[in-house]
Structure 1
Amino acid sequence: MKKASRWHVSIVGCLISAPVFSSDTGQISVVDIGNQPGYSAYVSGKAIAAIHQGNCSYSMVLLKNQYVRFNTPDVVFLESKTVPKDKSWPYLTQVEMSAGYNWSFKKDSDLKSKWFGVMCDSTESFDLQGAGINSNPEEISPELQDVKETNNLKCPATLTDKGWAPNNNAGRPEEYIFQELNGANWSGFIFGFRNKRKDGITRVSFCLVRGGNVLVGAAENYSKPLLLDQKSFEEIKATLETVKFLQ
């Protein structure tokens, strides 16, 4: 198994875009984020980040002191009262599998800070059956089955005729908070996994589904858990509810 090196993009040189918020008009500008020519790898609020991440194109509203960085293939959201230094940013780690990579996010400091990382994937790599999403009776390869089993732990819910519901992969109901999410052209869910005392959250995971694409996100830190409170969880949820898919 091979562990990928830390994905790293310096902020230096990314602060050249024009201000994205006008105090005179109160209008918020849209900033294209991605790795295509003319796009930025970094944006701070107040702004609308139009993110072009693989097959997923979507926008997200950023408030004051909120930042987004594009790293290829991941996108990271971070809230900070000061401009984050490189060492303050969460980052993606990957472990090679028989087909693709198993990934997770880490943060080396300030485990109480509000953040999340996002990856773009296809519904074909998940078992989201229950209402016709990727219900394919054909046999799948052992490699794809391994990918699905890993991804099902990242998105441990099933779409039923009554909406999204946690499944057995989520663990015991008393160990997490589960809430459905709905946008203008997508649906999804968010989990907050509780600590042993049930007074804080050690990990957040969410999945937003639109057509054949899934935005899979997490705030996590293995092996040292996060120290998030309920307010931070609700504010992460509020940020995700501003997401709009652009295609």
Structure 2
Amino acid sequence: MARQDGVILLKGQLGGLSFYKTAKDGHLARQKGGVDAKRIRTEAAFARTRENGSEFGRAGQAGRLLRTAFRSLLLNSSDSRTVPRLTQKFTEVIHADTTSLRGARNVVDGDMSLLQGFEFNIDGKLRQTLLAQYSVEVNRATGLVTINVPQFVPAELIAAPTGATNFRLVASVSELDFAADRYNSEVAESEENITGLEAPVTINMPLEVTVGSTSPLVVVLGIEFSQVVNGAMYSINDGSYNALAVVAVDSEG
């Protein structure tokens, strides 16, 4: 892969080269090539390629399901590389499956705990923005998931961007059925708080899941910033500062 440079930037194919444009890296060029698709589908020599492709496809589908489950929060809290980064993480989850044959390894039999700590916005990480301690409690018997941020001083423990006057915490839990490609999510958010507040606040956000659910549960926590101008509230939603991360994974039903 090479970067195009010059006055005329190309798109398409020319002389054995493919020219294309990406959002992050601009105009690029690469040499055409590769093995015939029919050979990959049928020849024994490409058995490993087919196995890897099957598992990679499974990882991509799992990543898409997770992104869809938390879509309302990801709209303002993700980066341009979230999709490939999440697919890579689910590939690691699938490769941790020690019971299924290669090519048949899957998310449910893998290690879902590897998702713990995944940051959806690499440019605005939760661990570098919300410095206060918090806890996550998952109770399948009662169907209650609780995120608790004990008493903290925002002016000291919120790393707010320049111009932000307010913040709120957002959270969501999702029951994920990877086999059926289904999910059930609930979202909660805190009240708006002043970023420079020097008085202590406590934040508690309860979320509900199906009582006795046996599906894998993923919990995310994030922070969104806003600015008050002439009495009106405006979201700072360019994605550079809002953070969202996986803070709990409970795969045992």
**TM-score, normalisation: structure 2:** 0.26
Q: Which has the higher contact order (CA 8 A, sep 6+)?
A: 2
